[in-house]
Amino acid sequence: MKKLLAALLAVLALGTSARALDVTAPSALLMEKETGTVLFSKDEHAKLEPASVTKVMTILLTMEAIDSGQLTYDTVITASAHACSMGGSQIWLKENEQMTVGDMLKAVCVVSANDCAVALGEQIAGSEEAFVERMNARAKELGMNDTTFKNATGLPAAGHVTSAHDIAIMSRELVKNHPDIRQYTTIWMDTLRNGQSSLVNTNKLIRFYEGATGLKTGSTDAAGYCLSATAERDGMELIAVIMKDATSAQRFEDAKSLLSYGFSTYTLKNVAPETPLAPVPVTLGTQATVQPVLGEGTSLLLEKAKAGDLQQTVTLAESVPAPVETGAQLGTLTVTSGEETVAEIPILAGEEVPRVTYGQMLLRLWKMAFLSD
């Protein structure tokens, strides 16, 4: 009887997971932010129009300009005639109207303002055309091989395409390396122009999905309804990309299904040695030992079923010959769950240890002889 009950529960669990991943969008992807692991994909390299999800790249380049010192949130931008002519989603900038970078970013993130997106691009690169060149160059650097941008907004343009895969890549770059963007992407309602202009977020998940952190909606007749949705729970942030859905409501339902599947199935564990790593002896080095440190890959994305009873084994070299370069591998931290090895994290030299010179060796021998006397 117990075996039958266990079997039924397993079948029900599988059925629940299958239903959670039954997205209607023709193209979709779920990614974990820290590791970049893809947890679900559906025709993720299909080249489709992204509509205003394009603006993830516009926002990314703006945040990079702020980080580099080219802009600050308080930098004042004067709106050009070109920026004010965009149409579509906008805050109705008037030519020569002045607004700070922070307020324009807010308008782009909350209401997908095309006029502000172009104004930011012009401020960064001098013109929208030059900014689009930077968008495409950055996409290439990130490995977004399905992407060609034609404008800074996502307004319909022949050949302006990307994919769910590429949107996830640029979304990850934004939320992982520029977490300050949350000050705008998590706004549900706000105002501009001293309260004269009201803003309500186009991303309904911000209000209605637990842990939602962003990121960007988009829709046109040709693109359908698109979304890059981010959410964080228990220290794990997920990115769900939906492309070409049939309705606005359906894109949010599809994103919720992906995010909820990810949160219910996976967890992020940060691994650290259970005891301090002992120094490793160095032969013929300028110092007697080298201090080991844990290498990259300490954040482990695991199925929750495997994360409850993790075991660690540390293997370190008995000694190493000089010279020792910083980052040289000294051993391995192996993490297991039951009989399965879930991670092998390199243990590296945390410092450089040069080899002793002939003169230093003679000096050592002299000191040893002197002390022994």
One-character DSSP codes across 70-107? S--TT-EEEPPHHHHT--SS---PPTT-EEEHHHHHHH
Q: Which of 52, 219, 228, 257 is catalytic?
A: 52
3 catalytic, yes or no?
A: no
The reported pLDDT for the residue numbered 357 is 81
Distance CA 323, CA 67 (A): 38
Q: How far is CA 137 from CA 145, 147, 148, 196, in A?
A: 11, 10, 10, 38
The reported pLDDT for the residue numbered 297 is 83
The reported pLDDT for the residue numbered 173 is 98
Judged on CB neighbours under 10 Å (0-12, 13-18, 19+), 366 is exposed
The reported pLDDT for the residue numbered 30 is 98
Distance CA 59, CA 178 (A): 10
The reported pLDDT for the residue numbered 122 is 98
**What does the radius of gyration of the chain's CA atoms come to, in whole angstroms?**
27
Distance CA 72, CA 58 (A): 16
Sequential pLDDT tens for the chain (373 residues): 433 333 333 333 433 343 447 899 999 999 999 999 999 999 999 999 999 999 999 999 999 999 999 999 999 999 999 999 999 999 999 999 999 999 999 999 999 999 999 999 999 999 999 999 999 999 999 999 999 999 999 999 999 999 999 999 999 999 999 999 999 999 999 999 999 999 999 999 999 999 999 999 999 999 999 999 999 999 999 999 999 999 999 999 999 999 999 999 999 999 889 899 999 999 999 999 999 999 988 899 999 988 888 999 999 999 999 999 999 999 999 999 988 999 999 999 999 999 988 666 666 666 666 655 5
Distance CA 54, CA 25 (A): 18
pTM of the model: 0.87
112 catalytic, yes or no?
A: yes
Sign of the Cα pseudo-torsion (215, 220, 223, 224, in order): positive
E-state strands within 145-279? 189-192, 197-200, 212-220, 224-233, 236-245, 266-270
- Of 235, 231, 222, give the one whose Cα is nearest residue 252: 231
52 catalytic, yes or no?
A: yes
DSSP letters, 16-79, are HHHHHT---SSEEEEEETTT--EEEEESTT--B--GGGGHHHHHHHHHHHHHHTS--TT-EEEP
Q: How far is CA 345 from CA 67, 68, 292, 342, 357, in A?
A: 31, 33, 12, 10, 33
Q: Which of 42, 55, 106, 150 is catalytic?
A: 55
Q: Which of 112, 163, 219, 257 is catalytic?
A: 112
The reported pLDDT for the residue numbered 104 is 98
Domains delineated in the chain: 19-265 (3.40.710.10), 280-358 (2.60.410.10)
